[in-house]
Structure 1
């Protein structure tokens, strides 16, 4: 089961957001980059993991054919009715991760907050002292 991102100690936890890259004729789509058949699958999740020795990306997609789903609404309804959505994992080879990220997304934002203060609002001030 896929849950929140986690590492050994989880000293910092947070959120992430990304915008799809602009669809351009000369650039591959997210589906092409991940080797996912768009006619059969719908991508619903992506994991980026940076470890000491390797950076990896896994793409998670719903098999619409196997589950007889036609639209995003059907996928959402499957999640509501069953409490889960079955996905297939597609791995991106580590040597292709940087290219994958730069081609798949226009912008990526990652915000990590120290575990001990995660429940509090952080307010940026002008003080640098």
Structure 2
């Protein structure tokens, strides 16, 4: 089975307010709802609303970003996919520090950040991301 798209991360100035907006307007469930991060789900896919300067290694932080930040893929074997990525010119983003606000991002430690050859950011995870409050 190939990779499965599981989240889209969007930078915004007010993750809590915009998270509430999408939850109410589109009947999505709020899994995480804080000043710096909101995670909404339809039960399969998540939307992650985050301040652009938080939760990311320095190489991919984008302070003040409003708009697309990255996508996340659930894969069966990170090692297998990562070998193919390196062969095609993708770059792994190394963790340089853990931001203090990381506690708001459940499960973020089991993912790996990558840059495509044209610089787009994406995550890989063998475990995937929670899509229910019970799974947090």
What TM-score bracket applies, with the shorter chain setting the length?
under 0.3
Higher RCO (CA < 8 A, seq sep 6+): 1
TM-score (norm 2): 0.24
Give the structure-1-normalised TM-score.
Answer: 0.25
